[in-house]
Amino acid sequence: MEDYKQRMQTSGFFSKWLLNSPLCVISLFLLFSCSEAQEHTADAINPEDSVSMMTSYGVNTLISDSGVIKYRIVTERWDVNTIRQPSRWEFMKGIFFEQFDEQFHVQAYIQADTAWYFDKQRLWHLRGRVQIRNTNGLIYNSEELYWDGISHEFYSYVFSRVVTPERTLEGTYFRSDEQMDHYLVSNSKGSFVASDIESSDDRSGSNSTDTQSADDSTAVTPAVRPAARKHPIY
């Protein structure tokens, strides 16, 4: 019994010494901390992942071309991404344009649900409920439209609808100049006023080799880039 009491007193003294010794407490803390340490590693970086270098909200700004103000852009969100190739501006919350002439008069209104602008190619890609209205009364509707800032033309390879005060055209291929003064719709169907058909018959009767009138804006094709374009894949 005396030996048991002596051992208990010795262990109690040793425990109090450990708890009252700062060096021992720190050593025990470091010992348990090291034994419980875990290595945390992040997932591998996907080459397609990128972060926009600039994100703006509630944008209403003017855009110039060759020193002349040409457009007003209104959008809920504007991302500028220079990491992804090709570099681009992204408008994932929709976009609205006002297009101006050299006297700063509004020529047309353009809107779409989503848009990308590839700054190196000066190419706009509009997608989702694309609509253009100009001051001549023309209304264009499609689900996808490209706008080439170098050749200054619009074109689309999906179903498009063009409505003017004189005619309505629908087709799966569309090309036009920026002013929508001269446009081409192929694989098309549409309705025309009677005067257009009669004037076309008169011209075809006077010259049987002419199948289309160059005076008719639907048959005039604007200049096309000679090289075929491969559109970017997103």
| Domains contained in the chain, CATH given | 54-206 (2.60.450.10)
Distance separating alpha carbons of residues 112 and 110, to the nearest angstrom? 7
Q: Give the pLDDT mean for 17-38.
A: 54
CA terminus-to-terminus distance, the chain = 85
The radius of gyration computed from the CA coordinates of the chain, to the nearest angstrom, equals: 35
Specify whether the backbone of 183 is left (phi greater than 0), alpha (psi in -120 to 50) or beta: beta
Q: Assign 234 a pLDDT band (cuts: 50, 70, 90).
A: low
pLDDT over 80 (residue 156): yes
pLDDT for the residue numbered 229: 47
Q: Give pLDDT tens digits for 83-128.
A: 888 999 999 999 999 999 888 889 999 999 999 999 999 999 999 9
Token pair for 157:
């390879």
Distance from C-alpha of 123 to C-alpha of 127, rounded to nearest angstrom: 13
Q: Which helix (H) or strand (E) holds 195?
A: helix 194-206
pLDDT confidence of residue 85: 87
pLDDT at 168 over 80: yes
Torsion sign, CA atoms 86, 87, 91, 97: negative
pLDDT (average), residues 152-161: 96
The whole-number average pLDDT for the span 24-41 is 56
Other Cβ atoms less than 10 A from the Cβ of 123: the count is 20
Q: pLDDT > 90: what percent of the chain?
A: 44
Average of per-residue pLDDT across 173-188:
91
Residue 15 confidence class, pLDDT cut points 50, 70, 90: low
Rounded-to-integer distance, Cα 104 and Cα 3, Å: 106
Nearest Cα residue to 117 out of 76, 87, 162, 161: 87
Max distance between CA atoms of the chain, in angstroms, equals 136
Buried residues in 61-85 as b, exposed as e (16+ CB within 10 A):
eeeeeeeeebbbbebebbbebeebe
User: What whole-number distance in Å separates Cα of residue 3 and Cα of residue 9?
Assistant: 10
Q: What is the pLDDT of residue 21?
A: 55
Structure letter (DSSP) for residue 211: -
What's residue 108's pLDDT? 94
Q: Which residue has the higher pLDDT, 206 or 82?
A: 82
Q: Which of 101, 124, 119, 97 is nearest to 110 (CA)?
A: 97
